[in-house]
Amino acid sequence: MQVDIKTTSVTQLRNTFSNVARRLGGDKPASRYQEATFDLQSTANFHYRPLWQPELALYDVLRTQIEMKDWYAFRDPRQYYYGTYTIARARQQDVMEKNIDFVEKRGLLRDLPEVERTALVFTLVPLRHLEWGANLNNCYITAFGYGAAITQATMFHAMDRLGLAQYLSRIGLLLDGNSGDSLAQGKTLWLEHAAWQDLRRLVERLMVTKDWFELYVAQNLVLDGLLHPLIFTHYERRVSAEHGPALSLLTEFMTNWFNESARWVDATIKTAAVESPANETLLCGWIANYRKACNEALASYASAVFGQDTDTVLAQIDAVFETRVAKLGLKTAQKAV
């Protein structure tokens, strides 16, 4: 018997969906991210207006003052769609589980002196409530935002925040030997301790912010941009200098996550700012307002954590934030402060 091996070529008729092809300016092969993002949200044929807000459609661009010609301009530089996002986070989760195991087996947190454990509970455990607020805020943005390009990313971001809250709870459980006492203490601190109240007030104010893009700026750019470096850079560095890198193992995800999502947040703000001077003015105003509000809200918490170094630390994180905002190309942001 003779076997002939032949190659047969089947050329596909179309490389991608028509809606994606229109955006790419021709029928070219598109990435999964593009196909899983562009024009995903329904735009037409809504039969009824929502009963709870009859002046607007179910999906409506008017829920923010920001105006965009194309809402799909908000590309995620990380190109996260469901597949890539879950794969990336699953990998990070594996690393974190190993780190947590490592710390637990050796009792690295449990065996710290009582004073230090109390300090860690005070600084980190109430933050889980703040992260939950961030989760809620990003859910709000997802629900009322416009265009799948931004709302899918904010949904992922919302899930990330739940993850951060859980990792913070795990730190609490490592400190109290899995009894859960630290979580109860954390809640009491969050609700009652004077040093936490300004931050709690700010988070609760964000929860009732109506304009979803304003909320995006306030939560994801300003509050996170000031609070995360304060804790996961400055505080972590301080703890590891005194007690070794046990905490750093447990906050590795937070640090990597912050740098990663900052890329996306910055890209989103930049995109909105270059769209029009009106957008830029709005953004600058929001950034200036919330920067002031966040710095004020951080003051009493920071002084409870950093003592006499508070002013230096706060000045440093604000300077880093200043540089970050300057890179976004917002001309008036600096002036407004």
Partner 1 sequence: MNDATQNTVFIAFQTNDDTRPIIEAIGNDNPNAQINRYPAMVKIDAPGRLVVRRASIEELIGREYDLRELHVNLISLSGNIDESDDEFVLHWNKN
Binding site for partner 1 (CB under 8 A): 7-10, 29, 31-33, 76-79, 84, 88
Q: Quick one: which of 291, 315, 274 has its CA closest to 218?
A: 291
CB half-sphere exposure, 302, CA atoms < 13 A: 25
Q: Which is nearer to partner 1, 2 or 8 (CB)?
A: 8
Question: Considering the complex, what minimum distance in angstroms separates the CB of residue 267 from partner 1?
Answer: 10
Question: Considering the complex, what minimum distance in angstroms separates the CB of residue 9 from partner 1?
Answer: 4
Q: Which is nearer to partner 1, 56 or 262 (CB)?
A: 262
Give the whole-angstrom CA distance, residue 9 versus residue 149. Answer: 35
Give the whole-angstrom CA distance, residue 193 versus residue 123. Answer: 11
Q: Strand (E) positions, 166-253?
A: none
Question: Considering the complex, what minimum distance in angstroms separates the CB of residue 77 from partner 1?
Answer: 5
Q: Quick one: which of 267, 248, 226, 253 has its CA closest to 130?
A: 226
Give the whole-angstrom CA distance, residue 160 versus residue 42. Answer: 26
Task: Report the Cα 90 to chain-centroid distance in Å.
Answer: 17
Question: Considering the complex, what minimum distance in angstroms separates the CB of residue 89 from partner 1?
Answer: 13
Q: Which is nearer to partner 1, 1 or 10 (CB)?
A: 10
Which residue has tokens 């805020």?
A: 137
Give the whole-angstrom CA distance, residue 19 versus residue 67. Answer: 22
Q: Which is nearer to partner 1, 79 or 281 (CB)?
A: 79
- If 0-12 CB within 10 Å is exposed, 13-18 middle and 19+ buried, where does residue 115 land? exposed
Give the whole-angstrom CA distance, residue 317 versus residue 312. Answer: 9
Q: Which is nearer to partner 1, 29 or 180 (CB)?
A: 29
Q: Which is nearer to partner 1, 176 or 252 (CB)?
A: 252
Q: Which is nearer to partner 1, 6 or 69 (CB)?
A: 6
Give the whole-angstrom CA distance, residue 79 versus residue 150. Answer: 11
Tokens at residue 244, please?
A: 């070794």
Question: Considering the complex, what minimum distance in angstroms separates the CB of residue 29 from partner 1?
Answer: 6
Tokens at residue 269, please?
A: 């703000």
